[in-house]
Amino acid sequence: METNKGENTRMSKRQMTVVGGGLLGAAIAYGAARAGTSVHILDQGDSALRASRGNFGLVWVHGKGATMPDYVQWTKEGLRLWPELQNELMELTGVDAGLQQPGGFWLGFDEKDVEARAVALDKINQDGGDVPFQMMDRAELRQYLPGLGDAVVGGSFCSLDGQANPLMLLRALHAALKAKGVDIISGVDIAKVEYDAGTGMFDAVAKDGRRWKSDRLVLAAGLGNAALAPQVGLLAPVKPTRGQVLITERLKPFLDYPTNKCRQTKEGTVQLGSTAEDVGYDDGTSADKIEWLARRAVETFPVLGQARLVRAWGALRPLTPDGYPIYQESQTCPGAFVVSSHSGVTLAASHCYVLGPWTSGLTQTPQEFKSFRGERFLDPNASFSNGY
């Protein structure tokens, strides 16, 4: 006999299994644990592709959601909730996730791109976006961004936007999970997930045969979701997109606002990025892209020509065909959820405070999640593109 979804009367040692310990899995597991759910995380360990390490670190709404108004509101909610997460993690763990929300700039090199940007941002607000933004010419931009190069012809500003430190966020979440008694089991390569309709229990089965049972199952396995989701009646057709970023030496603060081309961290390094490449599962770096990123950064801020680069890396980030997330509970295997998002930093607080209780069965499915169902990719008449 099935219990209603949303009602969890069974008890076991661990009520919830989260597959994946990256930014998504960690945020959701923490959100569930702080709501009273007992959770364990199965993390792949060092062989994982680790998209969380490749995030550029923007906490960003303006320009996103041009073809999906629900995503604009979901992202705005994420930005609104972020300060609470930053403070909570700091108090609980002492780790600073690096949130700053001074507003952010998109910078354009081409008049046509800047005009198209203005049209796209207007459209978002005509569709009810209510995203505060301002177009600026070069002279006005320079009042906020001293040293801006002549190659920049114009840009847009949104006061809601900002940045965080993806690596410190991940570390803070993992420290918070430990503080809440969540088991993080690493080195686990989940090959199979099973649902027993008789007991309503899930089994997560590792390649080496180990099994973990739970009442609830959250698939937050990044690119691994594509193969796992269909086993519990869900769909997550994610593909890898490679982002390469460059890191400079630590510099005295010169850039007060994050931009779409570079940002300076609290510690002083400047991150230049990022590419979005379709290269399959190759997570390496390439000389041509490194040169392109460096050239673009120096055109944006000529003073960066003096800076030394200390690192370059590539990472594979999961992307759905339309670039928007998938958040869905299974109809056929109630208690199973799939979560796929390209924006693990921007949406970290929503993943914690909204998805944590939702996957625990403590809240109803939010209204806007109808837009985030995986089935949208099955529509034979639809075609998909994304802004990445």
Partner 1 sequence: MATDTFFSIPKSTAARTVTITFEGEPLSVPAGISVAAALLAGGVKNFRSSVVGGRPRAPYCMMGVCFECLVEIDGIPARQSCLIPVREGMAIRRQIGAVELQFGAGEKA
The footprint of partner 1 (CB under 8 A) covers: 142-143, 146-147, 249-252, 254, 267-268, 302-304, 306-308, 310
Q: What is the sign, positive or negative, of the torsion defined by CA atoms of 228, 221, 356, 320?
A: negative
Please, which residue, 112 or 252, has the CB nearer to partner 1? 252
Decide if 166 contacts 247 (C-beta within 8 A): no
Centroid of chain to Cα 213: 27
CA proximity to 228, closest of 370, 357, 326? 326
Please, which residue, 29 or 145, has the CB nearer to partner 1? 145
Decide if 289 contacts 275 (C-beta within 8 A): yes
Residues 6+ apart with CB under 8 A from 377: 235, 237, 320, 321, 322, 384
The amino acid at residue 89 is L
Please, which residue, 13 or 250, has the CB nearer to partner 1? 250
Please, which residue, 270 or 290, has the CB nearer to partner 1? 270
Q: Residue 160 CB, nearest distance to partner 1 (Å)?
A: 24
Q: Residue 303 CB, nearest distance to partner 1 (Å)?
A: 5
Q: What is the sign, positive or negative, of the torsion defined by CA atoms of 21, 324, 68, 368?
A: negative
Please, which residue, 90 or 185, has the CB nearer to partner 1? 90
CA proximity to 160, closest of 221, 228, 76? 76
Q: Residue 140 CB, nearest distance to partner 1 (Å)?
A: 11
Q: Residue 250 CB, nearest distance to partner 1 (Å)?
A: 4
Please, which residue, 102 or 268, has the CB nearer to partner 1? 268
Q: Residue 157 CB, nearest distance to partner 1 (Å)?
A: 16
Q: Residue 163 CB, nearest distance to partner 1 (Å)?
A: 17
Q: Residue 314 CB, nearest distance to partner 1 (Å)?
A: 19
Q: Rounded CA gap, 172 and 161, in Å?
A: 21
| DSSP H helical ranges for 60-200 | 69-93, 111-126, 138-144, 166-179
Please, which residue, 24 or 169, has the CB nearer to partner 1? 169
Question: What backbone phi and psi angles, to 5 degrees, belong to 370?
Answer: -60, -30
Decide if 103 contacts 158 (C-beta within 8 A): yes
Please, which residue, 187 or 268, has the CB nearer to partner 1? 268
Q: Residue 179 CB, nearest distance to partner 1 (Å)?
A: 24
Question: What backbone phi and psi angles, to 5 degrees, belong to 211?
Answer: -130, 145
Decide if 99 contacts 348 (C-beta within 8 A): no
